[in-house]
Structure 1
Amino acid sequence: MQIHSLSTERLLLRPMQPADAPALFTFWSDPNVSKHMNIEAMTRTKQAEDMISLINDLCAKDQACRWSIVLKDSGETIGSCGFNSFDFDHGRTEIGYELGYPYWGKGYATEAVRAVIGYGFFQLGLNRVEAKVEPENSGSIRVLRKLGFAEEGLLRQYEKSNGQFVDLLIFSLLRDEWTDPSVR
């Protein structure tokens, strides 16, 4: 799949590049950020390079895709956002996103996720976007609610994180529920 860059008021979302590894490593190695990503905090920049390569390989196979989130005014990479998996037969995907800790609480995640959801619905023809979130990840839950996601329920002991089974909340947004006409 060839994904395109997306532009919002303050952000440029562009396909991930190997040059993004040092900036993304900074966030992916921060336990505050990685604790809700279902990955161990990275310890070497090479891990970020490998993750970007894996994501780009999955995108080329239409299995997943991710954008780097860049501030328009400074060119600084502040996180990433994208689709963790696709089920095109059923018109659905799962979204994931993270920002570096210094950028939390500024509306960047909502802005980025809004653009990516619009792309999924209107460029990729998807019908449903899902998000799975640990119940204590209140910031992510606020982002999803702002964007109109419905909480569907609790997935008990759904996956392992740091060797422990954890519960996840599942949220969804359907294309016919999407009310943001600016993202079409």
Structure 2
Amino acid sequence: MITDLYTERLHLRKMDVSDSQTLFKIWSDPDVTKFMNIENFHHESQATEIITYLDQLASENKAIRYSIIELESNEIIGSCGYNSLDFENDKTEIGYDIAKNYWGKGYAPEAISALLNYAFNSLNLNRVEAKVEPENLNSIKVLQKLNFTFEGTLRKAEKSKGRYVDLNIFSKLKTD
């Protein structure tokens, strides 16, 4: 089920433990993790643990996480994927993060477009969701650029870093 995805500038491949060192650097940046439901990392072993856990979810067809590799430099510049796969209801929730040095260059929408294409055309899903904290304006702009529909705000919907946070929910349907 898991296949590599390519765009004009990116290669998305299933995350691997060998990516730990680079992803640790990204996930240890408080600006990158500000709106993620993890604290910024302090030890590379934290990245290894997360990747191992995500590999287990992938083996159970519950989630898929990709390392985002810039083709020109062959550098890992972030990660993205399906946080949860719900084949019973033909839907998924996506997530993504990009290293700060690569912000504003269009990599997030490019990677998400590949996820959307794969979700709708290969996984035969009907709905892709994204949940974003209302203060995460850059992520909201990415979703708007990709014509996701804002459906509303889930009040105090999840606990993140010890506090309850509101989440804006966006969706894109196969028919959109």
TM over 0.5: yes
Secondary structure of the structure 2 residue equivalent to 1:90: coil
Taking the aligned partners of 1:12 and 1:92, their CA distance within structure 2 comes to 23
Taking the aligned partners of 1:91 and 1:4, their CA distance within structure 2 comes to 19
Aligned equivalent of 1:148: 147
Taking the aligned partners of 1:158 and 1:33, their CA distance within structure 2 comes to 21
Shift of 1:66: 0.8
Aligned equivalent of 1:27: 26
Secondary structure of the structure 2 residue equivalent to 1:20: helix
Shift of 1:37: 1.1
Secondary structure of the structure 2 residue equivalent to 1:40: coil
- Mapping of 1:82-161 within 5 angstroms? 82-161=81-160
Partner AA of 1:66 in structure 2? R
TM-score by length of 1: 0.94
Shift of 1:49: 0.7
Moved over 3 A (4+): none
Partner AA of 2:67 in structure 1? S
Shift of 1:131: 0.3
Shift of 1:17: 1.2
Taking the aligned partners of 1:35 and 1:63, their CA distance within structure 2 comes to 25
Partner AA of 1:71 in structure 2? E
Shift of 1:97: 0.3
User: What does the per-residue CA deviation read over 1:24-65, in whole Å, with 9 as the maximum and x for residues that have no partner?
Assistant: 101111110111111011110011011111111101101000
User: What does the per-residue CA deviation read over 1:74-108, in whole Å, with 9 as the maximum and x for residues that have no partner?
Assistant: 11000001000011111011000000111110000
Taking the aligned partners of 1:113 and 1:17, their CA distance within structure 2 comes to 19
Taking the aligned partners of 2:136 and 2:102, their CA distance within structure 1 comes to 16
Taking the aligned partners of 1:162 and 1:14, their CA distance within structure 2 comes to 29
Aligned equivalent of 1:65: 64
Gaps of 5+ in 2: none
Partner AA of 1:154 in structure 2? T
Partner AA of 1:37 in structure 2? M
Taking the aligned partners of 1:63 and 1:29, their CA distance within structure 2 comes to 26
Taking the aligned partners of 1:55 and 1:103, their CA distance within structure 2 comes to 24
Taking the aligned partners of 2:120 and 2:141, their CA distance within structure 1 comes to 21
TM-score by length of 2: 0.98
Gaps of 5+ in 1: 178-184
Taking the aligned partners of 1:118 and 1:148, their CA distance within structure 2 comes to 14
Aligned equivalent of 1:180: none
Aligned equivalent of 2:8: 9
Taking the aligned partners of 1:95 and 1:117, their CA distance within structure 2 comes to 9
Partner AA of 2:41 in structure 1? M
Partner AA of 1:127 in structure 2? N
